[in-house]
Amino acid sequence: MKRNRLILLAALLAGILIALLIFLMLTGGSSNRTSLKMIEDGELRTGPQASYPVVFDVEKGDRLKIIKHEGKWYYVSDKKKKGWIAGWHTDLNISPDKVAADDPFKNKTIILDPGHGGSDQGASSKTGTLEKEVTLKTALMLRDKLKKEGAKVIMTRSTDEFVSLDDRKGTGDIFVSLHSDALDDKAPHGLTVYYSHESQKVLADTLHFSIKKKALLSDRGVRQENFQVIEQTKMPAVLLELGYISNPTDEKMMNDQVYRQIVTTSIVDGLRNYFIY
């Protein structure tokens, strides 16, 4: 009798096991998985889409805990990192839905808007740094880099001339306005990225992340503000306040050629990231 019960129990357990295996095979095992393994190097992003900024790199073989998922994207974590990963980089057996563009700047028109100009000098420092000069130098360097990447660039001004806010627009894919902040108080410093319409936020997040990653500026974050030049356009547009002209450390950086190289490269990186998918 006892022996029969043991056999019955064993048969029952085997049955449950087989049912479980069939269930896992049918569902692909992905829906109730609590963790995943990277099958190639990848990047964790702030949102479930490739246009969101990268926050962490992850490597082939890394194991990550699944918190939730949205479509083919999984919100995952390990001890130090948290973010969204595309399912196709993992062992979840998910097919990619988009292919990265080989040439992200191809057929892209970028409108660069160096703030102020001519009779409007913008902010100024005690030592004579003028915002209109800094924004133009940065914009010209950025223009050259973007052209090298294959983009078309339209400048709202390329010399020291006055251009009204109404005229700071054009037809293109992206609009980037360049500025430097200033206050009476010389303590505030750092980078602020502004957007106006909700539809511009992904671009703002993407640029904020790439500038923050490379540039030495402290971070004042992404903010919503209806500045006319970004409000009057429907295209993805941002206004970058690349430091405070009223802060001696930021000012020194603004006047530094090497630093300008770093900042413009970080903007190009951000735009590439934005256009890549």
Torsion angle defined by CA atoms of residues 159, 180, 105 and 236, in that order, rounded to the nearest 10 degrees: -110
Gap between the Cα atoms of 200 and 234, Å rounded: 9
Q: In angstroms, what is the minimal distance from the CB of 123 to Zn ion? A: 6
Q: In angstroms, what is the minimal distance from the CB of 131 to Zn ion? A: 5
Closer of 115 and 190 to Zn ion (Cβ): 115
Q: In angstroms, what is the minimal distance from the CB of 156 to Zn ion? A: 13
Q: In angstroms, what is the minimal distance from the CB of 45 to Zn ion? A: 31
Question: What separation in angstroms does the CA of 212 have from each of 33, 72, 163, 222, 246?
Answer: 34, 28, 29, 11, 20
Closer of 179 and 260 to Zn ion (Cβ): 179
Q: In angstroms, what is the minimal distance from the CB of 34 to Zn ion? A: 50
Closer of 53 and 115 to Zn ion (Cβ): 115
Q: How far is CA 192 from the centre of its chain?
A: 14
Q: Which two tokens stand for residue 224?
A: 């919503």
Gap between the Cα atoms of 194 and 196, Å rounded: 7
Closer of 227 and 277 to Zn ion (Cβ): 227
SS3 at position 146:
helix
Which residue in the block uniquely carries the two structure tokens 């006047």? 255
Residue 147, Cβ neighbours under 10 Å: how many?
Answer: 13
Q: In angstroms, what is the minimal distance from the CB of 61 to Zn ion? A: 48
Closer of 122 and 243 to Zn ion (Cβ): 122
Residue 269, Cβ neighbours under 10 Å: how many?
Answer: 17
Burial 245-255 (b: 16+ CB within 10 A, else e): bbbeebbebbb
Any idea what DSSP says for residue 172?
A: S
Closer of 120 and 269 to Zn ion (Cβ): 120
Tell me the residue number closest to Zn ion, measured at CB. Answer: 179
Closer of 64 and 239 to Zn ion (Cβ): 239
Closer of 42 and 115 to Zn ion (Cβ): 115
Q: In angstroms, what is the minimal distance from the CB of 40 to Zn ion? A: 43
Q: In angstroms, what is the minimal distance from the CB of 245 to Zn ion? A: 9
Containing 77, the helix (H) or strand (E) segment is strand 73-77
Which residues contact Zn ion (rule: CB under 5 A)?
A: 115, 122, 179
Gap between the Cα atoms of 40 and 60, Å rounded: 4
Q: What angle do CA 41, 42, 47 make, to 5 degrees?
A: 170
